[in-house]
Amino acid sequence: RAAVNNLLAGRRSQGGSTITQQITRGLLLTPEKSYLRKLAEAILAHRIERMLSKEEILYLYLNEIYLGEGAYGVAAAARTYFNKHARDLDLGEIALLAGLPQSPSNYSPLRNPDAARARQRYVLNRMAEDGIVTAEAARAAWDQGLRVNANWRRAVHGYFSLYVRSQLLTRFTEEDLFRKGLRVATTVDSVLQLAAARAVQEGVARVHERHPQAPPPPGALVALDTASGRILAMIGGADYVAAPFNRAVQANRQPGSAFKPLVYAAALEQGVPPGTVLSDTPLALPSGTRKLWRPTNFRGEYRGSLSLAEALVHSSNVAAVRLLRQTGLPPVVRLSGRLGITAPLQHDLTLALGASPVSVLELTAAYTAFANHGLFHKPVGITRVQDRDGRVTPWPQSPAERVLSARTAEWLHTVMAQVVQRGTGTNARGVRGASGKTGTTDNNIDAWFVGSAPGLTTGVWIGHDRSASLGAGETGGRAAAPVWQQFMQLAVR
């Protein structure tokens, strides 16, 4: 109530002793429960009240209190829920925020709008009863309804914030994150993040329009600065509040043919000549059972013989399997690890067809080496961390590592430009300097497009969480490549 009163009146009008205890508990002490801690809390609270005015105490409180959805302080909450500055909040919005501290999750207007609305009404009624506002003003604020800017928060920042939090927890404790006023500088580009959110939302909507009998599929997008590995945009789904599960990082999915460039890279690094001709004819191999394994090409189409480049341009499955047999599994597995793939890979020939699940972030990072002359940087999303005392801790940036020869990287980059121009990735055309590869898994369960344009490498995945089919015809070229193109046309000028 003291916080609400001061927000409205702009002056001290109520006491803040309970607030002082909360500041002491949250900012200066650990969460430990003991008699010594309670004694320390009482002593520190008394000292704070002697040293600071009540306005200063309230200022600390309003800037540090947790108000849900990752927002600490009124200013952050105003941006999170309403996408506006705190000074521009109206009475109804102030009442909604004032009701959050008791239980930020339960009263979140994004997660529980009915509970948030009831809490807002309670706050407005109490404000009117206590004479802070008139009954007419409270009624008018209530009549305006719940007007949170949910889409802004849901689509744009949630997933990347989740990723940043996970990275911070590798070096800081939960207490450091939530009680010590850390200011984190990230690598994300707000313009590209918004463009990525829009591209994914519109892309999954197009798939849903073509197959309305199924629910809209989630999607994920990661955009990296090719030369440094810095994460410029990350979208882990179409609706963070409905599903705060970051598919760009936490979900490993089969990449299908989008994994083939790694097989080709390993083959070239092992000395397979670029002029090699591969057989693009039906293939039957022992499977360890009585049945033979018969990998097939998309739509059962075969071209007889193909050069190494043409086999990749046309995404021949049987040619990729033959190339993996020739190269051997260990070189591909080793190279994948050097390219940042940490997910376990299957040690059989299905690896050539992308049967081993990987994350969007890791596969996108691997592709940066193809566009960066064989140099690889581990992806990074943070540049520095500053505490409330102004001490700055630089965040470790990944040094460049030579993982491929420049010749191999240039060959792959050039061939994948042909994938876009006349192969399986023609829906990505129209982006200057585009180079990439599609990926589609059996029954159209996963659709991928990963590729580069000058300075930027981006990966897109579309699919259902429960591995259901996207629908007939929903290949990487049809479902994912248009999302990549839409985003990259804005990102690469």
Name the pLDDT band for 152 (thresholds 50, 70, 90).
low
Question: Between residues 200 and 4, which one has the greater pLDDT?
Answer: 200
Per-residue confidence (pLDDT) for residue 5, from 0 to 100: 52
pLDDT tens digits, 388-413 = 888 898 999 989 999 999 999 999 99
Q: What is the spatial distance between Cα 333 and Cα 154, in angstroms, rounded to a whole number? A: 37
For the CA atoms of 67, 73, 78, 83, the dihedral, rounded to the nearest 10 degrees, stands at -100
Per-residue confidence (pLDDT) for residue 12, from 0 to 100: 38
Q: What is the mean pLDDT of residues 293-321?
A: 96
3-state secondary structure of 448: strand
Candidates 315, 338, 342; CA nearest to 261 is 315
Q: CA distances (Å), 393 to each of 64, 184, 211, 292, 367, in order?
A: 21, 10, 49, 57, 30
Per-residue confidence (pLDDT) for residue 27, from 0 to 100: 59
Q: What is the spatial distance between Cα 271 and Cα 102, in angstroms, rounded to a whole number? A: 65
What's the CATH superfamily of 194-491? DD-peptidase/beta-lactamase superfamily (3.40.710.10)
Per-residue confidence (pLDDT) for residue 17, from 0 to 100: 45
Question: Between residues 8 and 290, which one has the greater pLDDT?
Answer: 290
3-state secondary structure of 357: coil
Min mean pLDDT across 172-181, 313-322, 474-483 is at 172-181
Task: Output the six-digit token pair for 346.
Answer: 């299957």
Phi, psi of 452 (to 5 degrees): -130, 155
Q: What is the spatial distance between Cα 72 and Cα 94, in angstroms, rounded to a whole number? A: 15
β-strand partners of 278? 306
Candidates 330, 325, 324; CA nearest to 345 is 330
Name the pLDDT band for 48 (thresholds 50, 70, 90).
confident
What's the CATH superfamily of 2-168? Biosynthetic peptidoglycan transglycosylase-like (1.10.3810.10)
Are the CB atoms for 480 and 458 separated by under 8 Å?
A: no
Task: Output the six-digit token pair for 481.
Answer: 């490549």
Task: Output the six-digit token pair for 210.
Answer: 């073509």
| Number of residues that this document lists for the chain | 493
Q: What is the mean pLDDT of residues 243-249?
A: 90
Min mean pLDDT across 29-38, 246-255, 277-286 is at 29-38
Look up the pTM and report it.
0.76
Name the pLDDT band for 32 (thresholds 50, 70, 90).
low
pLDDT of 28 > 70? The answer is: no
The reply to whether domains 2-168 and 194-491 share a CATH topology is no
β-strand partners of 223? 233, 458
Q: What is the mean pLDDT of the chain?
A: 89
Q: Is 433 exposed, middle or buried (0-12, 13-18, 19+ CB in 10 A)?
A: middle
Min mean pLDDT across 106-120, 141-155, 232-246, 388-402 is at 141-155
Task: Spell out the domain ranges in the chain.
Answer: 2-168, 194-491
Per-residue confidence (pLDDT) for residue 281, from 0 to 100: 97
Per-residue confidence (pLDDT) for residue 267, from 0 to 100: 99
Computed from CA positions of residues 164, 169, 170, 175, in that sequence, does the dihedral angle turn out positive or negative? Answer: positive
